[in-house]
Amino acid sequence: MGTNLIQLIRGNSFTHIEGAPHWFIDYAARHLSVPVPIGQLKGARYGKIWWHEGEPWGSLVHGERVAAGLTPHIEHLVAQYGLKSETRDVRVVPEEQVPWWSVSVKWRPYQDDIHEKVSGNPTGIINAVPRSGKTLMAARAVDSLALPTVYIAPSVAIVRQTYGVFCEHFGEENVAMMSSSARAHQRDISKPIVIATTASAGKKPQEWWDTRKVLIIDESHHSAAETYHRINVLADHIYYRYLFTGTNFRSGPDQLAMEAICSQVIHRVTVADLVPKYLARPRVFFMQTQGKVAGEDWREAYDNGIVDHEPRNNLVVRTAKMLSQDNGIPTIVD
């Protein structure tokens, strides 16, 4: 349908589309769109809101640029319409390193392999199953890069948990966290490693963001949200960016919005890597309890059917005693 050579200029956060016909830009903007709630506004995530069959859709294309994670989608569309494209990577590798001494940590082999993955891939997803130690894997990645890092966590609780793990590894003098409950020396965000929620990090000025050279996002399946796309804008200069998750998928159209930042998986840790060497093989049993809870608000159903449901709680106690006292099996009730 044409012989135009489209230039795809691949940056850290965005890919700029140069030399493309206007009809192709319009088609790409509509193709890379997802349904949005009525009243949704354009912003860092959506370049524009348009209507299709009476429903609002948000485009992930901003004028003639698209989030870098969606570059493969643009390349596919170019080929689909018989056009030609050339992708040029203009990312720059940072040189300076942070002079820290990490403490001795006994890494599991699959956790220690992370440094090889990040040395060959400046961006990507580490998809590791729950209980595989993703926080330690992230620490190993940061240690191998030795550059000023911002670590994004989805909640204050995870910020505090990660802070503790990173202090053990890097030393308290090298780690800070954005938390209102933190002490003054813990809130010094000039330190090499800063841990924060998306809301806190998104409020920091560009001048501070310019001091960061590595972006780590924990629980990256949340990254379809607008707050994460604003982080993507602030981090436009950051070359190294890695996303950790145990569930690298979203239901429905949010998957495309997540890919805009997450790009692709560069390393997987599966259950087979952990069982039986590191985790015990689980055995699952379902036990029927007496009583029935229906037709109530979910909070009432939760309280009446689980928390305050006496037959269920008595069954838990009897089962725990049977396992621990009668069978001699160490038991924990969670």
**DSSP alpha helix (H) spans, 171-309:** 198-202, 206-209, 226-234, 254-262, 271-274, 298-302
Identity of the residue numbered 111: Q
Distance separating alpha carbons of residues 230 and 234, to the nearest angstrom? 6
pLDDT average, residue stretch 100-108: 71
Q: In this predicted model, which residue has the larger pLDDT, 34 or 305?
A: 34
Q: pTM above 0.85?
A: no
pLDDT band at 21 (very low <50, low <70, confident <90, very high): very high
Q: Are 245 and 278 in contact (CB under 8 A)?
A: no
Q: Does residue 294 register a pLDDT over 90?
A: no
Identity of the residue numbered 232: N
DSSP 131-178: TS-HHHHHHHHHHHH-S-EEEEESSHHHHHHHHHHHHHHH-GGGEEE-
pLDDT average, residue stretch 105-113: 81
Q: In this predicted model, which residue has the larger pLDDT, 225 or 301?
A: 225
The model's pLDDT over 132-167, given as tens digits with 9 standing for 90+, comes to 889 999 999 998 899 999 999 999 999 999 999 999
60-69, 244-253, 265-274, range with greatest mean pLDDT: 60-69
Instruction: Give me the percent of the chain exceeding a pLDDT of 70.
Output: 94
